[in-house]
Structure 1
Amino acid sequence: MGADSDVRGIVDEAHQAAVSQALDYLSEHAGYTRKQVKEPAGKRLVVEKLAGISGVKYEHRTSRAGDPHVHSHVLLANKQLCRDGKVRTLDGVSLYHEARAAGMVYQATVREILSQKLGVEFGDVVNGCAEIVGLDDPELIASYSTRAREIDQWQADNGLETRAAYERIAQKITRRTKDTDTPLEELEIEWARAEHGAQVREFVAGLEPKNEADARESSEDFLPKPSQILAEVAAERSTFTRADVAEIVAELIRPGAISPEDMTVTVEGLVDAALAAHGTWSVTPEKSRELDSTQREGSQKYTTVEVVDEVERGVDMATARVERGVTAESIQPVEGELSPAQADAMRAVVGSDYLASVVVAPAGAGKTSSLKSAHHAWNMAGKHVIGLAPTGKAADVMVGENVADESMTIARAFVGTDDLIPEHTAVKLGWNRDTVVVVDEAGMVSNPDTIRVLETATAAGARVVFVGDPEQYSAVKARSGLLATLSHELPDAVELREVFRQRDAGEREASKWLRGGEEADVSRAAEWYMQNKRLHAGSVTAMMDDALAGWRDDTAAGKQSLLVAATRDQVTALNAAAQKIRAERGEINPEHRLGLSDGLTAGVGDVILTRRNDAKLVTSNGDVVRNGQRWVVDSIGKDGSITARRCDDDLATVTLNRDYLDKHTQLGYAATGHSSQGATVDVARVVAGVGNLDKSSVYVPMTRGREGNFLYIAETQPGDTETGHGQVSQIIRRESDEYARDLLVSAGMREQGDKTPQALFGQAKQDWELTKLVNQPSQTDTDNPFFGTDMGEYMRSFAAKREARFADFHARAQANNADEVPEPESGNEYSVTPSNDAVERIDAEIERVVLLQLGAGAK
């Protein structure tokens, strides 16, 4: 911090070199524009590669709050010079896709230079970033980046205008005008006098700048091998792009051996080697995109043969024939409790003779009510139902709602079984032929965990029922997508198509259109939301302010309203503002308050959110405290503890100790989209940034509310009003309903969730055939780019197995004189039409006890 000019110079050098490497990467992989070309059939939109990207860079040494923070603002021109001499708009899709990889290149370059020239060591790389060992004390970091400053930086990053409205958003936090008058020397003196200044000075004094030649070591031990790269990227995604591989490569490069100016070249070479390695398969061949010139570099997807084999193994186990123990014909629904289609669906699940069943359950489709009936039927047949879920909160609901006899998280179920064979795991878990395992929220379960459940069930002779929605969130940082593939491969997979949750019939339809993802359906959904005043668009400040205003009115009317935001910083700002509104109403005690882990405080009457499962914290009715649960603070103890009652159960109270409050709690008026999955409230108000929007991130939070769901789409403004970076302009269309509608249509057609290579191949092949039909109908089958590839040849046998499986199911169904027999080439999807009485009961949240009577035919 100024004590050693040589050290400061090296840090500056590292930053400048890293920015240069990151921009080189972006220029190569994100430099695209779009233009129209004339063809005999008319004009066609194509994507064209730019020769480079132009922009302007501003250098800074401090944060807005005056903390030490070397950084650059790089403003890319919206209009770029093309190869033909014309100026066109920079393609934002490509830029967004490659931005994270460019950031990883930046971080890797910084680590490389500081390691070589200062000898510093770095801790583990997490999400591309690593802390310097010796400067990684959380208290030290916090002292130079307090929560107030973090929110200030969040505000700056998102282009918030300085105006009175922000006071309602950030409570006591006010946006600082950047200090450009105080000399750097004076700031350095202030930093040195800070609480941890001596610790930093001592660390810097111990650094010894090195000669580059002395620092260089053999690169063999510092560069990742293709097998390691592929294992890392496949651990996070079933299918991946070149940019995904680049991110992993930059994370894996150990500092100390690469010339910094060669970082981008090194990353590129390692990426190429990984993609060319044996066992790497292209799911969407390069030639398959030639007919569609709107396709960008990031549209080509890859996988590994290990992932392909894993999915096929899962399908083979799930579709194995087993003794079901319950005949479908013996089950009759009690009139009035379930719709006929729901009863049909559950009859198919309980009566299936496959090892696994799949119930695709869109948001609000009444899966809990349906599964209660299956649970009762299994119990009557002497079966024991075990519930598994990816989260403790979801697992608890399964027992609480009478879906299972016992439940736990998947992680807890398989703890201590890593070294056991499936047969021994089954014995340890107590699974046998009389066990039925119901896996809820199965779309969020990773493929390896799904395989583990299937392997154990196979060894035990148990049955498995996967329940979830492939169109909602995937597993976090773990390859997934197997639920969707199983629903396609199992002949008797069922889908509950009717939505119950929303009281407005039009909104129920709109949610289904949004979930479908096809352009026509998404457009219909967006039109409905616009016509019914559910869509808003504008700057971040305006959208957060409007969402808060709506939340204020909702809660004043006695409604349960939930704010949803894309990032934790936005959630924190919304929580602070919502708390202020409640304090002004006198609904919370402003006197005695305790700090939470989000940097805010809570008093009696506040709503808080617990962020970690803790088996040691047990409620008055015996439940364990779970991540994602919301609580109302009833009292504050002298020892700094809090006594709270759960929002969804007044009888469940718990005392949260000081340590838990400090580490694992936040205010609970707002939540991220992932945290909101599974919640049901009266009204949901969703603030989403354009860059974060895709189908699942809109569909999930926009189906939380019974009475209404509102979307506030926030666009960051170009430039920075307080530093003069760029020219900030207001565009009226950004505030229009029509503009919001168009943004929603674009987001609803964008899918970022993980898919298995089998599913992605089928979709890509279908898209290619449609494009071929439109553009080049005269092409022959020998021109098919999918023919002859590793993935293409594999899919021939995979598809043949599916055809045989469906033909066998069709033949057996006909032999059994089934009333409804699905065609061999399609799954069996049940369309659910609920009665008015059923809708009213669900809307009123009256627990329904659903009984299915078991006849004499049960075994």
Structure 2
Amino acid sequence: MGRITAGRGYDYLTREVATSRHDYYTGSGEAPGMWTGSGRIELELDGVVDADDMAALYGSFLDPRTTHHVQPTDGRVVAPTLVGEALRSEPKVLNRGTANERVLEQVAAFDVTFSPSKSVTVLWATACDRRVRATVVAAHEVAVSAGLAYLEANAGHTRVGRNGVRRMVTSGFVIAQFRHRSARSTRPGERVGDPQLHSHCAILNRVRGVDGRWRTLDGEAIYRHAHAAGALYAAVLERELSDRLAVSWAAPDGRVPMREIVSVPGEVIARFSSRREQVLDHFERLLVEWTAVHGRSPTRAERAGILDEATVRSRSAKRKGNETDLHDHWRAQLTPCEQTAIDTVTGCQLATNGGRMPAGSTQLAEAVMQSLHEQRSWWTRAHVFGEVARLVQDPTVEAIELEVERIIGGCLELEPDRDHEYAQHDKTKFTSTTIKEAEQRVLNAAVQTAPWTVDPLAMVGLGDDQTDAVTAICAGEYQVSTVIGPAGAGKTTMLKAAAESYGVAERPVAVLTLSAAAARVVTEETGLPASTIAAWRVGQVRLPRNGLVIVDEASMVPTLTLDQLIRVAAAYHCRIAMVGDYAQMGAPEAGGLLRDLAGLPSATHMASVRRFHQPWERDASKQLRRRNRDIADVYDQHDRLIGVTTQYAVTTIADAWLNDILAGYDSIIVVDTTAEAALVSARCQQLLAGNSLLGETAGAGVDQTWICVGDLVQTRLNTNTIATSDGSRVLNRDVWRITGSNAAGDLLATHTRTAVTAEIPAGYAHDHVVLAYATTIAGAQGRTLDTGHVLVTPRTAAGALYVGMTRGREANHAYVITDSHDHEEFQLGDLSPRDAFAAAVSRAPEGQLSAAAIEQRWKQTAGQRLASRTDDRTHQRAFEWWTQRQTALPPQIADALHGHHQQVIAVLASRGPATWATMIRSATTNTSWDQHRAVRTFIERLETMPSSAAGGASSEAPSTQAGSNPEVARR
């Protein structure tokens, strides 16, 4: 799901259409788009999308029926008709002509893309039987239609009233739908890459309300329901292919994200899943060519230019086809055994049904609730709809909706709204009794009296806030002590001091962390025994009795786990210390409680920030933590914000990282996703190789990534099977330096922090070793280095941004992607770096709030909600009154006030209805209507009329006499 900006943002879709049957079959173009959506009828759009029509609608919001200018019947010139709000005359362009061009434009459409699981695409792309391929396409089209119909039914409205407080029914979406067959090529010079059947559905950001006016869509609703629409698409596609081709389905890894067709070879799926650009071959070739031409090695700046060129060349726009049919081209990449396997997957339906469960069953309801608990503390109908669509047998829309209502009926409503005129039931949030009771138990435990105390030691070098935290953990009044500390506050030093106090008192201390790597770091830095929460849950670790249990990074611990942990610790007469920061990463499951605990008397707040060398950055980090948008100005003034487009983001951030490495800094790159980390790390590896900082190839990692001597790598799976020099385990997120390889092909590695050595087997490396130059937010939290470089995308949330921008002691830079669209095939401009950074600062997903916080917020905003709705109702009444009463005005005055009705209504709405007639009568009588500023005078008289002058009058229509002012009659 993404956005298409007005102007030429739509151009990619129309430009890719094939100009002939030959071009289509050889992959040189795609099928023409088709108009769909109920709203297209309003504009008489049907059939194939005409490029001129799309240019008018998506480029300028013009009614395509009026943009040809000359009527074919009589030759009259017709002015184009606007569909809703007009575009500005010219979009504002910043830095025109540079690689980082940024354009501030309106959103013309929402691009909702439907794509099947990879096995479906592989079956369609490589099946020898044309009928099978056609059936897959037909099933895909049925599923897309179902997804769009759901989205239109649930998000096809517009917003009206004061501040958009009300919804209005519309005639539906106008959609230009384009079916594409491949992803962008990852091989230089080719236009068609891996097969990937998908449909772009460009939903016009204009809908016609029941009042006849065109307005923008409720974009928030589209985003809210997009996930459920995708789940419905996948469910309908499964049902259609099962019915038509009798294929069987399996859920990968026992979970139900998107099922794959049974017996489609995994090797083929992996082979056709390389969407990201591979620029290393281009770089090496261009480097050789450059050296041959210039007779010398390039400078660092010249090398950076060569790398930029390699990136651009490898990101080619899809292959110009040859004489080979596109499907023949893909089949040629299969072995005979693979082709046979694919051609025999149909007609082999199994009874397992891919893990789906009968409608109405207890099993289904329990599975849906478990899935919801694993994601958040609360949910909406759309969340439940998506889960049911993935899990229910025979997933028709009707069956899914019945199950949604059945399951919602067993949930607790957090935001009850009985004002049916304004209630938005699809936004209403629910939770379960399980979550609600667990949250309440944790909050209750936080105000229980501690069973005993420990005398805190007087520690030299601690700040006042650190001392307060130690005192709370040792001798505080409450059994559960919550310590909130921002990034760089010195929480580790504080914990070490608390542990020494417990040691003197001869009371045991245990630390629980989310990851084994974090547990090892805690032990190394504090000397405390630390284990993972997972190890405790499966019984590998026992809590101490009459001791202290420290929960590290408590914001990331799920609510249900926290509840269980506190209950067991309390039963063992333990004190519990919850240490963390709710402004950083939240729990991957139902969470958000640390923020609630921070507001209780048992919480201690560490205020000082000690990490950063620059005083301004210490203060800035606090404002960043508070999500103050204006802090973007401070970072901008200190040259910490670098604007980039998606195309150049990897190049720019990797080059800056290399400069720090060459200057002797320990540096880190932080990104949103694992895929981005792999892409950026590959670029960093290229830069190191280009600067002769890496040795020979030592082996291969995940996705066949080459690993060289000198590379930094990360192991991604805990294991006891790899021998290390000190007998310790190899852990997830351990970082190693590659020193060589042995005769068996194993990687020789040295741990970057402990200097422990290990021989990493080639098989483990192939499955679980990645380059470690860039990491995700989860991998960065808790780490401190010299400098940090953060990639800020339109998806980066406030908590992730805060973590990323607080890793470096010396400096932290944000590389802010200014493109507005997530889909890599669209390169669009949007915000300035400052504005894009500010948007990320305030982008706080509600999913990180507890159910208790959602409920409390709903209650606290009741007055504001009532005032807003009352204000809107008053405006509605004023509008109706004025619409009726203005017909009683003399024609001359009615003509003069044409176009100014909203001003009049706004003034009327600010006064009581009983005063309206007197106000209009008085203002009309005391206005000289022959003057050019008569309307302005009339409005001013309404605005400045004392309440006493207008009060107590009848609300009947004003009886205005034109003769009371001689000039009125002449008008």
Q: Same fold (TM over 0.5)?
A: yes
Asked if residue 523 in structure 1 is aligned to residue 626 in structure 2, the reply is no
Asked if residue 9 in structure 1 is aligned to residue 134 in structure 2, the reply is yes
- 1:242 matched to which residue of 2? 381
Asked if residue 411 in structure 1 is aligned to residue 534 in structure 2, the reply is yes
- 1:814 matched to which residue of 2? none
- The residue type equivalent to 2:621 in the other structure is S
- The residue type equivalent to 1:61 in the other structure is R
- 2:815 matched to which residue of 1? 712
Asked if residue 272 in structure 1 is aligned to residue 395 in structure 2, the reply is no
- 1:104 matched to which residue of 2? 231
Asked if residue 195 in structure 1 is aligned to residue 301 in structure 2, the reply is no
* Alignment coverage as a number of residue pairs: 710
Shift of 1:398: 1.5
Asked if residue 645 in structure 1 is aligned to residue 750 in structure 2, the reply is yes
- 2:117 matched to which residue of 1? none
Larger Rg: 2
- The residue type equivalent to 2:554 in the other structure is A
- 1:179 matched to which residue of 2? 319
Change (3 A) 1:713 1:767: farther
Conserved 8 A contact 1:587-1:605? yes
Conserved 8 A contact 2:466-2:491? no
Q: Distance in 1 between matches of 2:306 and 2:406?
A: 50
Change (3 A) 1:555 1:49: farther
- 2:782 matched to which residue of 1? 678
Q: Distance in 1 between matches of 2:362 and 2:336?
A: 36
- The residue type equivalent to 1:306 in the other structure is T
- 1:431 matched to which residue of 2? 544
Q: Distance in 1 between matches of 2:557 and 2:247?
A: 39
Asked if residue 481 in structure 1 is aligned to residue 604 in structure 2, the reply is no
Conserved 8 A contact 2:484-2:581? yes
- The residue type equivalent to 1:564 in the other structure is V
- 2:416 matched to which residue of 1? 285
Q: Distance in 2 between matches of 1:222 and 1:539?
A: 49
Q: Quick one: which of 253, 260, 264 aligns to 2:392?
A: 253
Deviations 1:175-201 (A, max 9, x none): 243236346x73333433433453343
- The residue type equivalent to 2:516 in the other structure is G
- The residue type equivalent to 1:100 in the other structure is H
Deviations 1:522-565 (A, max 9, x none): 12322212222222444212333332232222222211221122
- 1:785 matched to which residue of 2? none
Change (3 A) 1:311 1:742: closer
Change (3 A) 1:738 1:232: closer
Q: Distance in 2 between matches of 1:600 and 1:624?
A: 24
Change (3 A) 1:224 1:707: same
Q: Distance in 1 between matches of 2:305 and 2:212?
A: 44
Higher mean Cα deviation, 615-624 or 105-114?
A: 615-624
What is the SS of the residue equivalent to 1:499? Answer: coil
Conserved 8 A contact 2:644-2:817? yes
Q: Runs of 5+ in structure 2 lacking a partner?
A: 1-125, 186-192, 281-303, 350-355, 874-971
Asked if residue 378 in structure 1 is aligned to residue 502 in structure 2, the reply is yes
Shift of 1:619: 4.1
- 2:611 matched to which residue of 1? 501
Q: Quick one: which of 643, 654, 658 aligns to 2:762?
A: 658
Conserved 8 A contact 1:694-1:752? no
- 1:355 matched to which residue of 2? 479
Conserved 8 A contact 1:169-1:545? no
Conserved 8 A contact 1:321-1:354? yes
Answer 1 or 2: higher relative contact order, Cα 8 Å, separation at least 6: 1
Shift of 1:83: 4.2
Asked if residue 748 in structure 1 is aligned to residue 842 in structure 2, the reply is yes
- 1:850 matched to which residue of 2? none
Conserved 8 A contact 1:618-1:654? yes
Q: Quick one: which of 629, 632, 640 aligns to 2:737?
A: 632
- The residue type equivalent to 2:328 in the other structure is I
- The residue type equivalent to 1:748 in the other structure is S
Shift of 1:673: 1.6
- 1:93 matched to which residue of 2? 220
Change (3 A) 1:660 1:204: same
Q: Distance in 1 between matches of 2:837 and 2:445?
A: 44
Q: Distance in 2 between matches of 1:77 and 1:393?
A: 48
- 2:668 matched to which residue of 1? 562
Conserved 8 A contact 1:359-1:496? yes
- The residue type equivalent to 2:224 in the other structure is H
Change (3 A) 1:13 1:505: same
- The residue type equivalent to 1:130 in the other structure is R
- 2:800 matched to which residue of 1? 697
Conserved 8 A contact 2:792-2:815? yes
Q: Distance in 1 between matches of 2:496 and 2:519?
A: 15
Change (3 A) 1:224 1:449: closer
Conserved 8 A contact 1:595-1:662? yes
Q: Distance in 2 between matches of 1:499 and 1:689?
A: 27
Deviations 1:711-736 (A, max 9, x none): 223244669897xxx8x6656xx3x3
Q: Distance in 1 between matches of 2:650 and 2:345?
A: 47
What is the SS of the residue equivalent to 1:686? Answer: strand
What is the SS of the residue equivalent to 1:674? Answer: helix
TM-score, with length taken from structure 2: 0.68
Q: Distance in 1 between matches of 2:181 and 2:248?
A: 23
Q: Distance in 1 between matches of 2:714 and 2:149?
A: 43
- 2:180 matched to which residue of 1? 60
Conserved 8 A contact 1:325-1:381? no
- 2:258 matched to which residue of 1? 129
Counterparts of 1:542-561 in structure 2, within 5 Å, are 542-561=648-667
Conserved 8 A contact 2:453-2:476? no
Shift of 1:354: 3.1
- 1:464 matched to which residue of 2? 576
Q: Distance in 2 between matches of 1:719 and 1:339?
A: 45
Change (3 A) 1:14 1:439: same
Identity %: 28
Conserved 8 A contact 1:147-1:599? no
Q: Runs of 5+ in structure 1 lacking a partner?
A: 153-163, 211-216, 418-427, 780-859
Deviations 1:385-423 (A, max 9, x none): 11110111111122111152x111111123248xxxxxx
What is the SS of the residue equivalent to 2:858? Answer: helix
Q: CA RMSD in A?
A: 3.4
Q: Distance in 2 between matches of 1:714 and 1:737?
A: 7
Q: Distance in 1 between matches of 2:574 and 2:849?
A: 27
Q: Distance in 2 between matches of 1:240 and 1:721?
A: 30
Higher mean Cα deviation, 702-711 or 265-274?
A: 265-274
- The residue type equivalent to 2:152 in the other structure is S
Shift of 1:33: 4.6
Q: Distance in 2 between matches of 1:218 and 1:451?
A: 30
Conserved 8 A contact 1:683-1:709? yes
- 2:855 matched to which residue of 1? 761
Asked if residue 395 in structure 1 is aligned to residue 535 in structure 2, the reply is no
TM-score, with length taken from structure 1: 0.76
Q: Distance in 1 between matches of 2:182 and 2:637?
A: 46
Q: Distance in 2 between matches of 1:167 and 1:45?
A: 51
What is the SS of the residue equivalent to 2:178? Answer: strand
Conserved 8 A contact 2:251-2:257? no
- 2:268 matched to which residue of 1? 140
Conserved 8 A contact 2:358-2:364? no
What is the SS of the residue equivalent to 1:593? Answer: strand
Q: Distance in 1 between matches of 2:420 and 2:748?
A: 59
Deviations 1:225-267 (A, max 9, x none): 445433432342211122211221111123xx35xxxx33433
What is the SS of the residue equivalent to 2:378? Answer: coil
